[in-house]
Amino acid sequence: MRVCSSAMDTEFTLITGASSGLGLEMSRLLAAEGRNLMILARREERLAEIAEELSASGAGEVRSFAVDLSDTKALEAFLASIARDELKIGTLINNAGFGLRGSFAELGCEDQLRCIDLNIRALTRLTHAVLPGMRVRGRGAILNVASTAAFQAGPGMAVYYASKAYVLSFTEALAQELRGQGIHVTCLCPGPTDTEFAQVAGMADSPLFRSGAMDATLVSRQGLRALQRGQVIHLPGMRNKTLAFLLRFTPRSWVRSLVARLQ
């Protein structure tokens, strides 16, 4: 989405989780449009290399931020720093997220709470922080990355699936609340996609991922296009669309046991 006016040229697109996968691909696509970018993730060196690549490929100003978004204090310090520097965020891409494969009782509690802090808390906090500026300017765009996991319970990955159900529900509600205010709000719901996600989650060998993963650039392009069009929910790929549609007519007890097998 290219925004054209001199006022908008001072605005940034903030992309969380920009050091790999979908966040990196979206950053590359937006850099090619000449956008000013704020890229955020934990791995500082990798972000610095990516910032150089993005600048060389046509981005406007690129700023990188090494922040652990699951750390409340770090998140607040980041928000305070952008307020102090009076950086305007015209587009927010809440993409950073991770999942953990395993049974809820056996996985560590702290790790699962970190998943909630990142996938839910940080996404909510960032959204709340950027909205006042967007509302004053009467324009803005927010892309929240959920998952096809948002549409059903996920035995074997219970907290991750529940966190993505929150992202979908929250984003839909927000889109409705902001209708007519010039702010586009979109929820991108990818299925298995070729990024570092499966490795981090410990599920690269799961039947779900072995059955095929989508290309990260393709998913990213579709997500950005959906945001540009103001589409509230976007499922990339025919397989994901079909599965989400069929879920509506399938008893939840069947779906639960199918997901348990796929994980």
Ligand X SMILES: NC(=O)c1ccc[n+]([C@@H]2O[C@H](COP(=O)([O-])OP(=O)(O)OC[C@H]3O[C@@H](n4cnc5c(N)ncnc54)[C@H](OP(=O)(O)O)[C@@H]3O)[C@@H](O)[C@H]2O)c1
Contacts to ligand X by CB under 6 A: 16-23, 41-43, 67-70, 95-98, 118, 145, 147, 190, 192-193, 195-197, 200
Q: Which is nearer to ligand X, 20 or 228 (CB)?
A: 20
Structure letter (DSSP) for residue 130: H
SS3 132: helix
Q: Which is nearer to ligand X, 24 or 134 (CB)?
A: 24
Q: Which two tokens stand for residue 187?
A: 């929820």
Nearest distance from residue 188's CB to ligand X, in Å? Answer: 8
Q: Which is nearer to ligand X, 120 or 139 (CB)?
A: 120
Question: Distance between CA 223 and CA 243 in Å, rounded?
Answer: 18
Sheet holding 62-66, edge to edge: 62-66, 36-41, 11-16, 88-94, 140-145, 183-188, 233-234
Question: Distance between CA 263 and CA 211 in Å, rounded?
Answer: 12
> Is residue 160 annotated as part of the catalytic site, yes or no?
yes
- Of the candidates 38, 28, 88, the one whose C-alpha atom is nearest the C-alpha of residue 58 is 28
SS3 59: coil
In which element (H, E) is residue 111 found? Answer: helix 109-116
Q: Which is nearer to ligand X, 134 or 198 (CB)?
A: 198
Q: Which is nearer to ligand X, 118 or 262 (CB)?
A: 118
Question: Distance between CA 155 and CA 102 in Å, rounded?
Answer: 8
Nearest distance from residue 166's CB to ligand X, in Å? Answer: 12
Nearest distance from residue 135's CB to ligand X, in Å? Answer: 25
Nearest distance from residue 43's CB to ligand X, in Å? Answer: 3
Q: Do residues 120 and 147 touch, judged by C-beta distance below 8 A?
A: no
In the set 78, 151, 160, 170, the catalytic residue is 160
Q: In this chain, which residue has its C-beta nearest to ligand X?
A: 21
Return the bridge partners of 36, or none.
12
Nearest distance from residue 199's CB to ligand X, in Å? Answer: 8
Q: Do residues 112 and 100 touch, judged by C-beta distance below 8 A?
A: yes
Task: Write out the E strands in 128-177.
Answer: 140-145
Active site residues: 160
